[in-house]
Amino acid sequence: MSQEVAVVGSPDFTTGFRLAGVRKFANVTEDEQLDAAVREMLDDEEVGILVMHDDDLDALSRTTRSDVETSVEPVLVTLGGEGGSDALREQIKRAIGIDLMDED
């Protein structure tokens, strides 16, 4: 069974991914829709990677945010926001269990 990338966010955020061939996406325009869309992607067994904007992660309910941040499959990848490469490094470390940039 192959795993797919899914994207959740505003239509502006998801458009580029859709043009790149991502077939699983949820366009949300209100915070109330965000939790439901993320829950749907978490429950979808075909989703291996869930992509969201960092600002949308902050808008999730406490329970959904905790579930998505601790999820092993799908792995959450957030883009944008303040974290930059350090945040991506932490996401990769959490997803695969090792720090690829560890200098020790």
Indicate whether 102 belongs to any domain.
Answer: no
Q: How many domains does the chain have?
A: 1
Indicate whether 51 belongs to any domain.
Answer: yes
> Do 47 and 6 contact (CB within 8 A), yes or no?
yes
CATH code for the domain in which residue 75 is found? 3.40.50.10580
* pLDDT for res 70: 87
47-53 and 75-79 strand pairing: parallel
Indicate whether 103 belongs to any domain.
Answer: no
> Do 53 and 78 contact (CB within 8 A), yes or no?
yes
Indicate whether 104 belongs to any domain.
Answer: no
Per-residue pLDDT of the chain (104 residues; tens, 9 = 90+): 678 899 999 999 899 889 888 999 999 988 779 999 999 999 999 999 899 998 898 899 999 999 988 888 898 888 876 655 555 566 556 655 655 455 55
* pLDDT for res 1: 60
* pLDDT for res 6: 94
* pLDDT for res 9: 93
